[in-house]
Structure 1
Amino acid sequence: MPEATPLLKVTGTKALGAEVILHGDNYDEAYSYAITYAKENNLTFIHPFEDDAVIAGQGTVALEMLDDVNDLDVVVVPIGGGGLISGVASAIKQLDPKIRVIGVTAKGAPAMYNSFKKGSVVNSKSVRTIADGIAVRDVSEKNLKTILECVDEIVQVDDEEIANAILYLLEKQKLIVEGGGAASVAAILHEKFKYKKDSKIGAILSGGNIDVQMLSVIIEKGLIKSYRKMKLLITLIDKPGALMKLTDILRLANANIIEIDYDRTSTKLSYGDAKITIVLETKGKKHQDEIKKMLNENGYEIQIEV
Structure 2
Amino acid sequence: MLSEEQKRLGVISASLGNHALALSYHGNRLSIPVTVIMPVVAPIMKIQSCKQQGAEVIVKGDDMKEAKAYATEIAKERGLTYINGYDHPHIIAGQGTLGLEIVEQIKDIDAIIVPVGGGGLIAGVALAVKSLYPSIKIIGVESDRCPSFSEALKAGKPVDIAIKSTLADGLAVPKVGYNAFATAAPLIDKMVIVKEEWIAIAILRLVELEKCVVEGAGASALAAILAGQLDELSGKRVVIPLCGGNIDTTILGRCLERGLAVDGRLLKFCVTVSDRPGGIAELCKLVCKIGVSIKDIVHERAWIASDVFSVQVTVVCETMDRDHANQLRKALTENYSVVTFGDMMYPWPKSLKN
Deviations 1:242-268 (A, max 9, x none): 222332333333232222212233365
Among 106, 109, 117, the alignment partner of 1:80 is 117
Among 119, 132, 137, the alignment partner of 1:95 is 132
Note if contact 1:229-1:279 (Cα within 8 Å) is conserved in structure 2: yes
For residues 239 and 303 of structure 2, the distance between their equivalents in structure 1, rounded to whole angstroms, comes to 54
After TM superposition, the structure 1 = structure 2 runs for residues 142-157 of structure 1, keeping only pairs within 5 Å, are 142-157=179-194
After TM superposition, the structure 1 = structure 2 runs for residues 209-228 of structure 1, keeping only pairs within 5 Å, are 209-228=246-265
Deviations 1:57-116 (A, max 9, x none): 111111111121032111111111111111111111222122111122222222211222
Partner of 1:111 in structure 2? Answer: 148
Matched-pair identity in %? 37
Among 256, 259, 265, the alignment partner of 2:296 is 259
Partner of 1:40 in structure 2? Answer: 77
Residue 221 of structure 2 corresponds to residue 184 of structure 1: yes
Partner of 1:161 in structure 2? Answer: 198
Among 207, 211, 214, the alignment partner of 1:174 is 211
Q: Which structure 1 segments of 5+ residues have no match?
A: none
For residues 98 and 129 of structure 1, the distance between their equivalents in structure 2, rounded to whole angstroms, comes to 33
TM-score by length of 2: 0.79
After TM superposition, the structure 1 = structure 2 runs for residues 1-306 of structure 1, keeping only pairs within 5 Å, are 1-193=38-230, 195-266=232-303, 268=305, 270-299=307-336, 301-306=338-343
Note if contact 2:204-2:260 (Cα within 8 Å) is conserved in structure 1: no
- After TM superposition, give the deviation of residue 33 of structure 1 in Å: 0.8
For residues 40 and 269 of structure 1, the distance between their equivalents in structure 2, rounded to whole angstroms, comes to 68
Partner of 2:17 in structure 1? Answer: none
Is 138-147 or 228-237 further displaced after alignment?
Answer: 228-237
Note if contact 2:87-2:178 (Cα within 8 Å) is conserved in structure 1: no
Secondary structure of the structure 2 residue equivalent to 1:20: strand
Q: Which has the higher contact order (CA 8 A, sep 6+)?
A: 1
Amino acid at match of 1:33: Y
Give the total of aligned pairs: 306
Note if contact 2:139-2:192 (Cα within 8 Å) is conserved in structure 1: yes
Note if contact 1:269-1:275 (Cα within 8 Å) is conserved in structure 2: no
- After TM superposition, give the deviation of residue 10 of structure 1 in Å: 1.2
TM-score by length of 1: 0.90
Change (3 A) 1:95 1:22: same
Secondary structure of the structure 2 residue equivalent to 1:11: helix
For residues 192 and 293 of structure 1, the distance between their equivalents in structure 2, rounded to whole angstroms, comes to 30
- After TM superposition, give the deviation of residue 300 of structure 1 in Å: 5.5
Note if contact 2:92-2:180 (Cα within 8 Å) is conserved in structure 1: no
Note if contact 2:92-2:124 (Cα within 8 Å) is conserved in structure 1: yes
Change (3 A) 1:39 1:160: same
For residues 304 and 40 of structure 1, the distance between their equivalents in structure 2, rounded to whole angstroms, comes to 56
- After TM superposition, give the deviation of residue 294 of structure 1 in Å: 4.0
Amino acid at match of 1:84: L
Note if contact 2:274-2:280 (Cα within 8 Å) is conserved in structure 1: no
For residues 91 and 286 of structure 2, the distance between their equivalents in structure 1, rounded to whole angstroms, comes to 62
For residues 129 and 70 of structure 1, the distance between their equivalents in structure 2, rounded to whole angstroms, comes to 34
- After TM superposition, give the deviation of residue 230 of structure 1 in Å: 2.4
Secondary structure of the structure 2 residue equivalent to 1:76: strand
Q: Which structure 2 segments of 5+ residues have no match?
A: 1-37, 344-354
Secondary structure of the structure 1 residue equivalent to 2:167: coil
